[in-house]
Structure 1
Amino acid sequence: MVRSIFFFAQWLIARRRTWLRILTWITRFGYWLFILYGLLEWFRPRPIAEQIKRRKTLVYCLFSVIPGSSVSWVIGKIWHRPRPFACGDAAALVPHKANASFPSNHSMNSLAISLMLLARRNPWGLPALVWTGVLASSRILSGLHYVSDVIGGFFIGAAASHVVYHSKRCSQLADHILYYWHVGTAVVETWWRKC
C-alpha cells in the first residue's frame, strides 16, 4: 500500500513540470540554504557580543558536520548500499550518481546544523528544522534514498550534534578560532586604513 502511494506520488510529480522543477531544485540545491545562511550570518554587522555568540554557533554547526561526515565516509567504505533507483525500487526523478545510499548525508548534515541552532537558542533553529524535513522528504520522493537512509542520517547527525554541543574541547577550539579570526580582521582593517 505504502509503495503504491509512493509510486503514485512519483508519477504525479513527473507529470507536472513545475512540481518536478521544484522537487529537483530542493533535492539538488536545498542544502545551499544552510551554507548561504551561514555566510550571511557570519558577515552580517551587529553588536560585537551578539556577533561573537552567533559566530560561535556557526563554528559549532561546522564542527557538528565534521564527525557525522566522517562516520558516513567510514560506513560508505564498509557497506555500499545501492540507491533505490539502482535497484529498481524507485525511479530517479533527479539525475544522480549510483554511489552509496546509506546514510543520507544531506539529511544528516542538515539535522546536525538544525539541532545545533536549536541548542544554541538561535532563532533560525526551528525554520532550519522544518527545511530539514522538506529536504529529507525530497531525497526520498526523488528516488535517491530509502526512508531508512534518511533515518540513519538523522541518527548520526543528532549524535554528532549532541557530542559537539557537550564537548569542552570543541568550545575551546571555537573560542580560539574566533579569537584568531577577530585578531586577523583587526590587522587587515588597520593595514587597509594605512594604505
Structure 2
Amino acid sequence: MTLFNLDYNLFQLINHLAVVYPSLNPLMRFLSQEGEYVFYVGIIVYWFTRKEQNRWMVMHSLVAACVALGISGLIGDFLYRDRPFVSHHVNQLIPHAMNASFPSDHATGAFVIATSIWLFRKREGWAWLLLAAGVAFSRIWVGVHYPLDVLAGTLLGFSTAICMYKWLPKWKVTANLLHQGLLLYEKMERRILPINHTKNPQ
C-alpha cells in the first residue's frame, strides 16, 4: 500500500464520520470555516492588553504566519494536489474552491499562531494548540483536505513558529525594526488612548 493510498483510506475513515455522527457536523463546519477568526480575535485581545510580552508575542505570531503561509503557497504551486472532492466522491459539508489542497493553509495558519502563543504563554498555549488541532481535523471531516495536507500544514506552522522564535531575535535589523515600530505605535497609542492611572478615592 502506497502512502497516498493510506492517506486516502484514512481520509475516507474520517470523512465518513460526518455520516456516522451528523450531530457533530455543525461544530466541524464552525471549526473549519470560522475557527480561524477565533485566532484573529485572540491576537487582537492579546495586543490590546498593552503588555509588552503579549505585544512581542503578537508580532512574532504575525511574522511567523507570513513566513509559513508564504512557504505554503510556494509548496502548493510546485507540488500541486487536487482537493478530495475533485478526484473522489466525498461527504463535502462546505463549499470550497477547486484550488491546491497541499498543504492545508488553515492548518498552517492555526498552528503557527497557536505555537507562537504557546512559546510565550505555556499554560493557555495548550488551549490554543487544541483549538488548532480541532481546526485541522475538521478540514478532513468536512471533505476539503486529505490527512497528509493537514499534517504537512501542522508541521509547517509548528516548525516555522519555533524557528522564528529562535532566529528572529538574532536578526538584528529585523528585530530593531520591529522594536522601533512598536515604540512608535505605542507613542501614538498613548496620545489617542491614554491610560487612566487615577486611583479611586478612599
TM normalised by structure 1 equals: 0.84
Distance 2:158 2:37 in 1: 20
Moved more, 159-168 or 138-147: 159-168
Shift in CA distance, 8/72, structure 1 to aligned 2, threshold 3 Å? closer
Matching of residue 36 in structure 1 with residue 41 in structure 2:
yes
**Aligned letter for 1:60?**
H
- What displacement does 1:172 show? 3.1
Structure 1 residue 6, shift from structure 2 partner? 3.1
Task: Report the CA distance shift for 1:8/1:69 in structure 2 as closer, same or farther (over 3 A).
Answer: closer
Task: Quote the Cα distance in structure 1 between the aligned partners of 2:126 and 2:56.
Answer: 18
Aligned CA distance change for structure 1 residues 39 and 125 (closer, same or farther; 3 Å): same
Moved more, 68-77 or 88-97: 88-97
- What percentage of residue pairs aligned between the two structures are identical? 23
Deviation at 1:83, TM superposition (A): 0.7
Determine whether 1:177 maps to 2:185: no
Evaluate the alpha carbon distance shift between residue 56 and residue 4 of structure 1 in structure 2; reply closer, same or farther with a 3 A threshold: closer
| Aligned counterpart in structure 2 of residue 5 of structure 1, from 1, 10, 13 | 13
Deviation per CA, 1:64-113: give whole Å up to 9, x if none. 10111111111222232101111115321111111100111111111111
Show CA shifts across 1:11-46 (max 9, x none). Answer: 224xx3x4322221111000110001111121236x
Task: Give, in whole Å, the separation in 1 of the partners of 2:27 and 2:112.
Answer: 24
Deviation string for 1:150-186 (max 9, x for gaps)? 1111121122112211122254343222111111213
* Equivalent residue, structure 1, for 2:71: 71
User: How many residue pairs are counted as aligned between the two chains?
Assistant: 182
* 2:10–2:147 contact (8 Å) kept in structure 1: no
Residue identity opposite 2:67 in structure 1: P
TM-score, normalized by length of structure 2?
A: 0.81
C-alpha distance in 2 between matches for 1:184 and 1:44: 16
Aligned in 2, Cα 1:77/1:188: closer, same or farther, shift over 3 Å? same
* Contact 1:112 1:161 survives alignment (8 Å): yes
Whether the aligned pair in 2 keeps the contact of 1:60 and 1:174 (CA below 8 Å) is: no
Matches within 5 A, 1:130-169: 130-166=130-166, 167-168=168-169, 169=171
State whether residues 52 and 178 of structure 1, in contact with CA within 8 Å, keep that contact through their aligned partners in structure 2: no
How big is the shift at 1:7? 4.9
